[in-house]
Amino acid sequence: MAQVPTHVFRKYDIRGKVTGETPDLTPDLARWVGKAYGTYVQRNLGVKQVFVGGDNRLTTPAIKDALIEGLATTGIKVTDIGPVMTPTVYFASSSNEAAGGIMITGSHLTTDYNGIKMSYGRQALADDQIQDLLKLIQADDFEQGKGEVLKDYAMIDRHMETIKGKVHMGDRKLKVVVDSGNGLSGTYVPPVMEALGVEVICLFCEPDGTFPNHLPNPEDPELTKDLEAAVIANKADFGIAFDGDADRAGVIDEHGHHVAADRLLALLARDLLTRMPGSTIVFDVKSSQVLPDIIRESGGKPLMWQSGHSLMKRKMAEVGSPLGGEVSGHLFIGENYYGFDDGPLVALKVLELFSKTDKTLSQALGEMPSLIATPEIIMSAPDDVKFKIIDVVRDELQDKYEVVTVDGARAIFENGWGLVRASNTQPAITMRFEAHTRPQIVEYMKRFEALLDDYPQVDREKLDKQIEAFSQPA
């Protein structure tokens, strides 16, 4: 039986450390994963070919090559599509018959990490499917064959041409600043924007897998300060930032203020519902209460669901939703498209929306009701205790408040809510809070923090910083 680190087989991807004396994600493990994936999709999902791509991290090529080797031993047809963005892999598996896709990427995590995201058709492997891969590895139960291995490095060009054709710009000429965080989006997305008539100012658009300027995470306000300053300095209409593998895009308004992904989703939902009234819009449990209210007011049906890109896409397909998203920045467009998280397409849709109005981004957002919310607060917590923490917090809160348990524990307080859930991508728990006033948010954060007293393993630094920040006048 193969001995592999089981903790890297997570809820919706495989993710682990690639550095140190005992790394979790090695080429050897990737080879096993290739064998297991090739076996599983042929036996259970009718997949006949697999497209494999990778980001520009320095550890990606060796992992990708080993995974392709493993795939080929199962007799499945493999196409290496080269250095790409994650949505390019999704595009390949969605637009080809009986196809799967695998992306090697660490996304927004530090360079100590890398990962494997897997898809089939328009869906992603998640939950029990990923555990089934682990079982195949442990049982040494693989299909045998000699699969053909091809290369097609033009897939990303077809992807870009396709999404360019999904938008129809208005008369307003826009100026935007794009921060690619030294990921591959900097090579491919700005030219598409420019071809659509947008003036683009680039920040960190040169691919560099060491990420010398900042980690590419558009939802972390500590990592968007350069973009915020550049938007103001260049008097741009707004700024757009991509994460490392470009399945997420974040937006900064013309005043240099971060736009929460759920408020961006509200803008897109309001626009989509003018064309598709009555549609169900799916959003995650971390979202503002403003979002479902706007969806209802705009003639749509709101549906709260679990966080996680794989889980969101599955639910959207189940209910036939043309639009969905989560606070982490994964937004999913299914209107005349495949419904996966495509950061470049989301960015183009925002450009399209504002090319047809004279309103600034802040003005459009100002028309919505506004509650005060914290950013997503991510705190380190060991994998072996983070789910126990969620259970304890949930049980304590349920004695006093209404608690939504679709994903973690979202407690409904007197004038807002607070959420704690376990991260599925790293050893961490996440929290978010929303209320009418800053003192109310501070009170809710302190209620949650008190429940962590028995867990010194949790790094509370970010929570304490938010408590301090919200204790100050706005």
What per-residue string of b and e applies to 129-162 under the rule 16 or more CB within 10 Å gives b? bbebbbebbeeeebbeeebeeeeeeebbeebbee
CA–CA separation, 206 vs 213, rounded Å? 11
| Catalytic residue ranges | 107
Count of C-beta atoms within a 10 Å radius of residue 126: 22
Question: How far is the C-alpha of 204 from the C-alpha of 206, rounded, in Å?
Answer: 6
**How far is the C-alpha of 280 from the C-alpha of 299, rounded, in Å?**
10
Closest C-alpha among 456, 262, 216, 224 to residue 374: 262
